[in-house]
Amino acid sequence: MNLSSLGFFRSLRKDNHQFAVIGLGRFGRAVCATLHRLGYEVLAADVEEKNVNQVMSEHIAAHAVQLDSTNSVALKEAGIYEFDTVIVAIGNYIQESVITTLNLKEGGVPHIVAKASTDVHCKLLHRVGADHVVFPEYEAGCELARALTKPAILDRFDLDPDHSIVEAIVPDEFHGKTIGELQIRNRYGLNLLAVSQDGKFEINPDPRKRLEKGSAMVVIGCNKDINRLPI
């Protein structure tokens, strides 16, 4: 997620406890399972009866219905237009995905999240009303490549294409040295936001604090400067 997504997430109702998920492949089921585990009520829908039955057998949704989401009447009869947020998890069937998204927008759904498989698919989804588009396979591929090449980086928040906030393992070269001694801003052009201690993070740590290898630190700055860290 990056800054371009913040407008959408700010617009979501904090008191919303119901979500609808259309498309019950692996991605759709994962969304259902996570929302259900977090205590939210989920209506799951798919054109294939076997997918609906699987969701019900796994108990990852409060309700599951078989319907053709390209049929506006079917969506209305299922009550999906009444939901505040609907996730369109139909990634591999572009026509069905786009028509479903268009139906939801015309049906008055305030927040539509859609899964895309290509850049063209993404553009079409935005054109017909998707408020937020995700590329699960692409994002997972990027995360895997980063993990393989920079295993010391535990988590990353991309602010824009050139700047990030990262959580990284404290490198061996920093062990036993104080934050003041390391001069991270002067040497690397980065700001140290937090360091971990006893499983918890200390925000804006004291410059006299000594870092320990194996613990974690959070820095913000330019990606090219982050890449210069000895991690």
Q: Dump pLDDT digits (tens) for 129-166.
A: 999 999 988 888 888 888 888 889 998 888 888 999 99
How far apart are alpha carbons 166 and 222 in whole angstroms?
Answer: 11
Per-residue pLDDT of 54-79, as tens digits, reads: 999 999 999 999 999 999 999 999 99
CA distances 229 to 12, 13, 165, 173, Å, are: 37, 39, 13, 10
CATH no. of 3-139: 3.40.50.720
Residues spanned by CATH 3.30.70.1450 within the chain? 146-226
**CB contact at 8 A, 39 and 18:** no
**pTM: predicted TM-score of the whole model, two decimal places:** 0.73
Residues spanned by CATH 3.40.50.720 within the chain? 3-139
pLDDT-derived band at 27 (thresholds 50, 70, 90) equals: very high
pLDDT-derived band at 3 (thresholds 50, 70, 90) equals: low
Is CATH 1.20.1250.20 correct for 146-226?
Answer: no
Instruction: Give the SS3 label for residue 228.
Output: coil
Q: Could you tell me what percentage of the chain is helix, strand and coil, using 3-state DSSP and rounding each to the nearest 5?
A: 40, 25, 35
